[in-house]
Amino acid sequence: MMKKYVLATVLLGGFIGTLFLAAKYLGVEPDRLNYEYFPDMARNFAYKAQSPNPFFRNGRTEQRPVEGAIARGFMPLHYGLSEEEAKRAGRELRNPFKSDSTANLERGKRVYEIYCGTCHGAAGDGKGLVVQHGYPAPPSLLLENARAIEDGRMFYIITYGFKNMPAYGSQVAHDDRWYVINFIRQLQENQQ
Ligand code: HEC
Protein backbone atom coordinates (compact mmCIF):
# COMPACT_ATOMS: atom_id res chain seq x y z
CA MET A 1 0.00 0.00 0.00
CA MET A 2 2.69 2.42 1.11
CA LYS A 3 4.73 1.62 -2.00
CA LYS A 4 1.88 2.72 -4.24
CA TYR A 5 1.72 6.16 -2.63
CA VAL A 6 5.47 6.62 -2.95
CA LEU A 7 5.32 5.63 -6.59
CA ALA A 8 2.40 7.96 -7.26
CA THR A 9 4.17 10.86 -5.54
CA VAL A 10 7.36 10.28 -7.48
CA LEU A 11 5.50 10.05 -10.79
CA LEU A 12 3.46 13.19 -10.06
CA GLY A 13 6.58 15.06 -9.00
CA GLY A 14 8.33 13.98 -12.17
CA PHE A 15 5.38 15.07 -14.25
CA ILE A 16 5.19 18.52 -12.70
CA GLY A 17 8.95 18.86 -13.02
CA THR A 18 8.69 18.03 -16.71
CA LEU A 19 6.06 20.73 -17.14
CA PHE A 20 8.33 23.29 -15.52
CA LEU A 21 11.21 22.25 -17.73
CA ALA A 22 9.02 22.35 -20.82
CA ALA A 23 7.79 25.80 -19.83
CA LYS A 24 11.37 26.96 -19.39
CA TYR A 25 12.57 25.67 -22.77
CA LEU A 26 9.45 26.61 -24.71
CA GLY A 27 9.71 30.00 -23.12
CA VAL A 28 6.19 30.33 -21.70
CA GLU A 29 5.79 33.84 -20.44
CA PRO A 30 2.30 34.89 -19.45
CA ASP A 31 2.64 38.47 -20.65
CA ARG A 32 3.52 37.74 -24.25
CA LEU A 33 2.32 35.44 -27.01
CA ASN A 34 4.44 32.33 -27.14
CA TYR A 35 4.20 28.87 -28.57
CA GLU A 36 1.01 28.53 -30.56
CA TYR A 37 -0.61 25.17 -30.84
CA PHE A 38 -3.24 24.87 -33.58
CA PRO A 39 -3.27 28.54 -34.63
CA ASP A 40 -5.63 27.95 -37.60
CA MET A 41 -8.67 29.43 -35.91
CA ALA A 42 -6.94 32.53 -34.60
CA ARG A 43 -5.07 33.18 -37.83
CA ASN A 44 -7.14 32.37 -40.87
CA PHE A 45 -7.19 33.76 -44.37
CA ALA A 46 -10.37 35.75 -44.05
CA TYR A 47 -10.02 39.51 -43.92
CA LYS A 48 -10.90 41.02 -40.57
CA ALA A 49 -13.73 43.51 -40.34
CA GLN A 50 -12.61 47.05 -41.13
CA SER A 51 -9.24 45.95 -42.48
CA PRO A 52 -8.09 47.13 -45.93
CA ASN A 53 -8.92 44.73 -48.74
CA PRO A 54 -7.16 44.70 -52.12
CA PHE A 55 -9.89 42.59 -53.79
CA PHE A 56 -12.52 45.31 -53.85
CA ARG A 57 -12.33 48.44 -55.90
CA ASN A 58 -13.04 50.65 -52.90
CA GLY A 59 -10.37 48.84 -50.89
CA ARG A 60 -12.66 47.92 -48.00
CA THR A 61 -13.50 44.56 -46.49
CA GLU A 62 -17.01 45.57 -45.50
CA GLN A 63 -19.23 46.16 -48.50
CA ARG A 64 -22.66 47.76 -48.61
CA PRO A 65 -25.59 45.37 -49.11
CA VAL A 66 -26.72 45.13 -52.72
CA GLU A 67 -29.31 47.79 -53.53
CA GLY A 68 -32.77 46.57 -52.57
CA ALA A 69 -31.47 43.81 -50.26
CA ILE A 70 -33.75 43.12 -47.30
CA ALA A 71 -32.43 41.70 -44.03
CA ARG A 72 -34.26 38.62 -42.81
CA GLY A 73 -37.06 39.47 -40.42
CA PHE A 74 -36.99 43.17 -41.35
CA MET A 75 -39.63 43.46 -44.04
CA PRO A 76 -39.89 47.17 -44.85
CA LEU A 77 -43.28 48.90 -44.92
CA HIS A 78 -43.99 51.47 -47.57
CA TYR A 79 -46.50 53.79 -46.01
CA GLY A 80 -46.56 57.53 -45.56
CA LEU A 81 -48.12 59.47 -42.70
CA SER A 82 -51.71 60.34 -43.53
CA GLU A 83 -55.25 59.15 -43.01
CA GLU A 84 -55.25 57.88 -46.60
CA GLU A 85 -52.15 55.79 -45.96
CA ALA A 86 -53.62 54.40 -42.71
CA LYS A 87 -56.70 53.35 -44.70
CA ARG A 88 -54.53 51.76 -47.35
CA ALA A 89 -52.69 49.77 -44.66
CA GLY A 90 -56.07 48.60 -43.40
CA ARG A 91 -56.92 47.30 -46.85
CA GLU A 92 -53.54 45.82 -47.74
CA LEU A 93 -51.89 44.37 -44.63
CA ARG A 94 -52.97 40.91 -43.54
CA ASN A 95 -52.40 39.43 -40.10
CA PRO A 96 -50.18 36.39 -40.78
CA PHE A 97 -50.79 34.82 -37.35
CA LYS A 98 -53.87 33.00 -36.30
CA SER A 99 -55.34 34.04 -32.99
CA ASP A 100 -55.86 30.45 -31.90
CA SER A 101 -52.24 29.80 -30.96
CA THR A 102 -51.93 29.96 -27.18
CA ALA A 103 -48.21 30.71 -27.35
CA ASN A 104 -48.79 33.68 -29.67
CA LEU A 105 -51.58 35.02 -27.47
CA GLU A 106 -49.40 34.70 -24.40
CA ARG A 107 -46.69 36.61 -26.22
CA GLY A 108 -49.24 39.22 -27.31
CA LYS A 109 -50.39 39.63 -23.71
CA ARG A 110 -46.81 40.17 -22.57
CA VAL A 111 -46.19 42.76 -25.28
CA TYR A 112 -49.45 44.49 -24.40
CA GLU A 113 -48.54 44.65 -20.72
CA ILE A 114 -45.13 46.13 -21.50
CA TYR A 115 -45.94 48.58 -24.30
CA CYS A 116 -49.67 49.31 -24.38
CA GLY A 117 -51.27 48.74 -20.98
CA THR A 118 -49.36 51.69 -19.52
CA CYS A 119 -51.77 53.97 -21.41
CA HIS A 120 -54.58 51.72 -22.63
CA GLY A 121 -55.01 50.00 -19.25
CA ALA A 122 -54.67 46.29 -18.45
CA ALA A 123 -58.28 45.73 -19.50
CA GLY A 124 -58.04 47.94 -22.60
CA ASP A 125 -60.42 50.54 -21.15
CA GLY A 126 -57.99 53.45 -21.67
CA LYS A 127 -57.33 54.05 -17.97
CA GLY A 128 -53.66 53.09 -17.74
CA LEU A 129 -51.24 54.44 -15.17
CA VAL A 130 -49.74 57.06 -17.48
CA VAL A 131 -53.22 58.41 -18.19
CA GLN A 132 -53.91 58.63 -14.46
CA HIS A 133 -50.92 60.94 -14.31
CA GLY A 134 -52.23 63.30 -16.96
CA TYR A 135 -51.45 61.80 -20.37
CA PRO A 136 -54.36 62.29 -22.84
CA ALA A 137 -56.63 59.27 -22.44
CA PRO A 138 -57.02 56.99 -25.45
CA PRO A 139 -60.50 55.79 -26.31
CA SER A 140 -61.32 52.35 -24.89
CA LEU A 141 -60.15 49.51 -27.11
CA LEU A 142 -63.37 47.71 -26.19
CA LEU A 143 -65.62 50.24 -27.94
CA GLU A 144 -67.31 49.62 -31.29
CA ASN A 145 -64.89 52.00 -32.98
CA ALA A 146 -61.77 50.03 -31.99
CA ARG A 147 -63.47 46.72 -32.84
CA ALA A 148 -64.06 48.01 -36.36
CA ILE A 149 -60.41 48.98 -36.95
CA GLU A 150 -58.92 46.43 -39.35
CA ASP A 151 -55.87 44.46 -38.21
CA GLY A 152 -53.82 46.15 -40.95
CA ARG A 153 -54.76 49.62 -39.73
CA MET A 154 -53.98 48.67 -36.15
CA PHE A 155 -50.58 47.46 -37.33
CA TYR A 156 -50.15 50.84 -38.99
CA ILE A 157 -51.15 52.68 -35.78
CA ILE A 158 -48.67 50.71 -33.67
CA THR A 159 -45.91 51.19 -36.24
CA TYR A 160 -46.33 54.89 -37.02
CA GLY A 161 -48.36 56.21 -34.08
CA PHE A 162 -51.72 57.96 -34.33
CA LYS A 163 -52.45 61.57 -33.29
CA ASN A 164 -51.72 61.57 -29.51
CA MET A 165 -50.25 58.08 -29.59
CA PRO A 166 -46.50 57.83 -30.19
CA ALA A 167 -45.05 55.40 -32.74
CA TYR A 168 -43.97 52.00 -31.45
CA GLY A 169 -42.46 50.62 -34.65
CA SER A 170 -38.93 50.90 -33.34
CA GLN A 171 -39.68 49.26 -29.99
CA VAL A 172 -42.14 46.50 -30.80
CA ALA A 173 -40.83 43.84 -33.21
CA HIS A 174 -42.75 43.10 -36.41
CA ASP A 175 -44.29 39.78 -35.32
CA ASP A 176 -44.99 41.09 -31.81
CA ARG A 177 -47.20 43.79 -33.34
CA TRP A 178 -49.43 41.13 -34.85
CA TYR A 179 -49.46 39.08 -31.64
CA VAL A 180 -50.54 42.11 -29.64
CA ILE A 181 -53.35 42.78 -32.11
CA ASN A 182 -54.56 39.19 -31.62
CA PHE A 183 -54.47 39.76 -27.89
CA ILE A 184 -56.53 42.95 -28.21
CA ARG A 185 -59.09 40.99 -30.27
CA GLN A 186 -59.26 38.50 -27.43
CA LEU A 187 -59.82 41.32 -24.91
CA GLN A 188 -62.65 42.58 -27.12
CA GLU A 189 -64.24 39.14 -27.47
CA ASN A 190 -64.12 38.57 -23.73
CA GLN A 191 -65.93 41.89 -23.22
CA GLN A 192 -69.05 41.52 -25.33
C1 HEC B 1 -48.18 56.75 -24.38
C2 HEC B 1 -49.52 56.21 -24.32
C3 HEC B 1 -49.88 55.12 -25.29
C4 HEC B 1 -49.26 53.92 -25.48
C5 HEC B 1 -48.06 53.38 -24.73
C6 HEC B 1 -50.00 53.22 -26.50
N7 HEC B 1 -51.03 53.99 -26.93
FE8 HEC B 1 -52.41 53.47 -28.31
N9 HEC B 1 -53.26 55.29 -28.15
C10 HEC B 1 -52.89 56.28 -27.26
C11 HEC B 1 -53.72 57.44 -27.44
C12 HEC B 1 -53.63 58.73 -26.65
C13 HEC B 1 -54.62 57.11 -28.49
C14 HEC B 1 -55.68 58.02 -29.09
C15 HEC B 1 -55.01 58.82 -30.19
C16 HEC B 1 -55.82 60.03 -30.57
O17 HEC B 1 -56.95 59.83 -31.05
O18 HEC B 1 -55.31 61.13 -30.38
C19 HEC B 1 -54.31 55.76 -28.90
C20 HEC B 1 -55.00 55.07 -29.88
C21 HEC B 1 -54.82 53.74 -30.19
C22 HEC B 1 -55.63 52.99 -31.11
C23 HEC B 1 -56.82 53.52 -31.87
C24 HEC B 1 -58.02 53.38 -30.98
C25 HEC B 1 -59.27 54.00 -31.57
O26 HEC B 1 -60.36 53.61 -31.12
O27 HEC B 1 -59.17 54.89 -32.42
C28 HEC B 1 -55.14 51.71 -31.13
C29 HEC B 1 -55.64 50.53 -31.92
C30 HEC B 1 -54.00 51.69 -30.22
N31 HEC B 1 -53.82 52.93 -29.67
C32 HEC B 1 -53.24 50.58 -29.96
C33 HEC B 1 -52.10 50.58 -29.16
C34 HEC B 1 -51.23 49.45 -29.00
C35 HEC B 1 -51.44 48.08 -29.62
C36 HEC B 1 -50.24 49.84 -28.17
C37 HEC B 1 -49.04 49.03 -27.72
C38 HEC B 1 -48.16 48.56 -28.74
C39 HEC B 1 -50.48 51.22 -27.81
N40 HEC B 1 -51.61 51.64 -28.44
C41 HEC B 1 -49.68 51.96 -26.96
C42 HEC B 1 -51.88 56.20 -26.34
C43 HEC B 1 -50.98 55.16 -26.22
Closest residue to atom 26 of ligand 1, CA basis:
146
Ligand 1 centroid distance, CA of 74 (Å): 23
Lowest mean pLDDT among 25-34, 44-53, 99-108, 127-136: 25-34
* Mean pLDDT confidence for 105-126: 96
**Which residues, other chains included, contact 155 with Cβ-Cβ below 8 Å and sequence gap of 6+?**
89, 93, 95, 177, 178, 181
Residue 157: CATH number of its domain: 1.10.760.10
**What's the structural domain count of the chain?**
1
Domain presence at residue 158: yes
For residues 77 and 38, give the distance between their C-alpha atoms in angstroms, rounded to a whole number: 48
* Mean pLDDT confidence for 183-188: 95
Of 93, 86, 102, 103, the residue nearest 160 (C-alpha): 86
* Mean pLDDT confidence for 145-160: 97
With bands split at pLDDT 50, 70 and 90, how would you rate the model's confidence at 121?
A: very high
Lowest mean pLDDT among 44-53, 80-89, 135-144, 147-156: 44-53
In terms of residue numbers, what domain contains 163? 83-190
Tens digits of residue pLDDT in 10-53: 999 999 999 888 877 776 677 777 777 788 777 888 899 999 99
Domain presence at residue 89: yes
Ligand 1 centroid distance, CA of 38 (Å): 58
Closest residue to atom 29 of ligand 1, CA basis:
154
Of 49, 77, 76, the residue nearest 63 (C-alpha): 49
Ligand 1 centroid distance, CA of 188 (Å): 15
Closest residue to atom 13 of ligand 1, CA basis:
138
DSSP track, 31-57: TS----SSTTTTS-SSPPTTSB-TTST
Q: Which of 165, 176, 177 to mutate to test the pocket of ligand 1 (most atoms within 8 A of CB)?
A: 165
